[in-house]
Structure 1
Amino acid sequence: MKTMNAENKGKTVLITGASNGFGMEFAKLFAQDGYNLILVARSTERLRKLGYQLQEEHQLEHVCIITSDLSRPEAPKEVYDEVKKSGIHVDILINNAGAGVHGFFYETDLEREKAIMQLNMNTPVELTKLFLQDMRKRGEGKILNMASVVSFMPSPLMTIYGATKAFMLSFSEALTNELKDTGITVTALCPGASNTMFFRRAGAAHTRAANGSLSEPDEVAKDGYDALMNGESRVVSGLKNKLQTSSSNIMPDMALASNMRHMMEDQDEEDMHDGQSKESKL
């Protein structure tokens, strides 16, 4: 059993998409530093199991579980109202929840894509608006928004996902400028392909990207956590991804799009036999 970090006693972080992947790793990092937790996701059972484990291990004052499907337009306000009703102040907001769908845009399901746009853009924007207003009254706070390496380049076969992540990066960096000298910071975390459930849920587990070199979610979360605590406006997680995003400044957009399409296409037999690709851990 670990002792609570006295410096953070009474402080609370709200994490969306907290039941697995990056969100779960963020919860572990904040719990280690003594932050109380508000965990938001669709899976009540997973959230309760994680919350109980972290509360016991780190002697947290409280862990609040909110079950919500954040792809619903009503969800952000419902989450905010529930937090306000509890009387808890949110010191840090982690807008982590997100999803994608693989395939040609003219073939993919519009209703699913509308839900993805809600989850990836509208929900974090609304949560940021609501909790940021409270942070402004207190004169302090931190927000982390999940962007991506695809924020920097067109993403064929993941068209809507890439566009939502480009939006989140632009939104976050504009807020950074607006909030300078207010005591509130906004950080955009930009990971690359990672060993989470993302590819499977997006129907992209068979692609080259999903079967290539994947970042581990604990490493990505740690990069985001450190950048957030240092007040950095943007962090690209992983050396390979830093090189990839740097190249986006010099390569034509159509060349970037061609590279991204290659990665999001099916892994063919030649890929399977050349020894370069590994089996997905998803």
Structure 2
Amino acid sequence: MSETQRERGLALVTGASSGIGFELAKCAAERGYDLLVVADDERILSAVSAFTVRGVKATPVIADLATPAGIESVVKAIATQGRPVDLLMANAGQGLGDAFLDQDLLRVQRVINTNISGTVALVHHVGNLMRSSGSGRILLTGSIAGFMPGSFQAVYNATKAFINSFALALRDELTDTGVTVTCLMPGPTDTEFFERAGMLDTPVGQGKKDDPTFVAEVGFDAMMKGDGDVVSGWKNKIVTAVANVTPAGVLAKHHRQMAEPQKT
């Protein structure tokens, strides 16, 4: 490893082939970090051209974080770098629309394995490396969806409730270790999420969404400041404030209005 690479630092970004993860990787590259960028599809191979600015190096890794083999692929890729991971942006996630009992169980389990199991496994590995070195920053992509029961998006919202809680608990555990944890909680964002989740026929899928570049910049800046959590956008801040004082049953009915497929 060259002296220049050592000075630049290394950022690991999951779900980096598109959307918020892609923009997070760009944020890191623009600030001079070399990259390990991970996605479960081959588009990550072409995405790296957008990250190689200012002489940074971007290494793509195709890995399905819903599987132990995918996690192992990322762990091996980290080891081959021969240097610490300075920034971990655990952004990979999947959604799934429709009523829970009408969903394919294998797809349900894949959402859980990607959003929770894979994220936890990767954070456990990298977090231990960071704690041992006494420095590092972790950004977890949660969601304002984690503040409300997600009728017609029940499993996804539940996984984001887990991530929101997990991030803040881990942050407290790592107090005084030199490692910070930040949770980014966006609202609906203009990415491929709703198409991949089969939610284009829903009000939320068809409605106005936030710019992923803006969301990523908010999250990245909060991580670099060492903030505990950040909700991107003032409208989403209002949503979370209201959700904290609204009965769960009311929230579930409201979510149904946003996420229930429109009848044709």
Deviation at 1:268, TM superposition (A): 6.5
CA contact (8 A) 2:65 2:119 kept: no
> What residue is the counterpart of 1:35 in the other structure?
33
Deviation at 1:77, TM superposition (A): 2.5
1:76-155 equivalent positions in 2, closer than 5 A: 76-155=71-150
In structure 1, what residue type is equivalent to 2:40?
A: R
The number of aligned residues is 261
In structure 2, what residue type is equivalent to 1:41?
A: A
CA distance in 1, matches of 2:260, 2:104: 19
Inter-CA distance 263–53: structure 2 relative to 1 (3 Å threshold): closer
CA distance in 2, matches of 1:261, 1:226: 33
Give 5+ residue unaligned stretches, structure 2: none
1:17 and 2:12 are equivalent in the alignment:
no
Deviations 1:139-196 (A, max 9, x none): 0001111110111110010111001000001110101110111111101111111110
Deviations 1:205-233 (A, max 9, x none): 11101111200100110110111011011
Q: What TM-score results when the alignment is normalised by the length of structure 1?
A: 0.89
CA distance in 1, matches of 2:102, 2:45: 38
> What residue is the counterpart of 1:194 in the other structure?
189
CA contact (8 A) 1:77 1:127 kept: no
1:58 and 2:54 are equivalent in the alignment:
yes
> What residue is the counterpart of 1:264 in the other structure?
259
Aligned with residue 47 of structure 1, among 35, 44, 47: 44
Deviation at 1:70, TM superposition (A): 1.6
Tell me the percent identity: 38
Deviation at 1:81, TM superposition (A): 2.0
1:134-213 equivalent positions in 2, closer than 5 A: 134-213=129-208
Aligned with residue 246 of structure 2, among 226, 243, 251: 251
Deviations 1:216-273 (A, max 9, x none): 100110110111011011111111110000001211111111111100023479xxxx
In structure 1, what residue type is equivalent to 2:102?
A: E
CA distance in 1, matches of 2:162, 2:127: 18
Q: Which entry has the higher C-alpha Rg, 1 or 2? A: 1
Q: What TM-score results when the alignment is normalised by the length of structure 2?
A: 0.94
CA distance in 1, matches of 2:194, 2:262: 13
In structure 2, what residue type is equivalent to 1:194?
A: T
In structure 1, what residue type is equivalent to 2:31?
A: D
CA contact (8 A) 1:90 1:131 kept: yes
CA distance in 2, matches of 1:200, 1:66: 24
CA distance in 1, matches of 2:85, 2:218: 22
CA distance in 1, matches of 2:263, 2:205: 13
1:228-243 equivalent positions in 2, closer than 5 A: 228-243=223-238
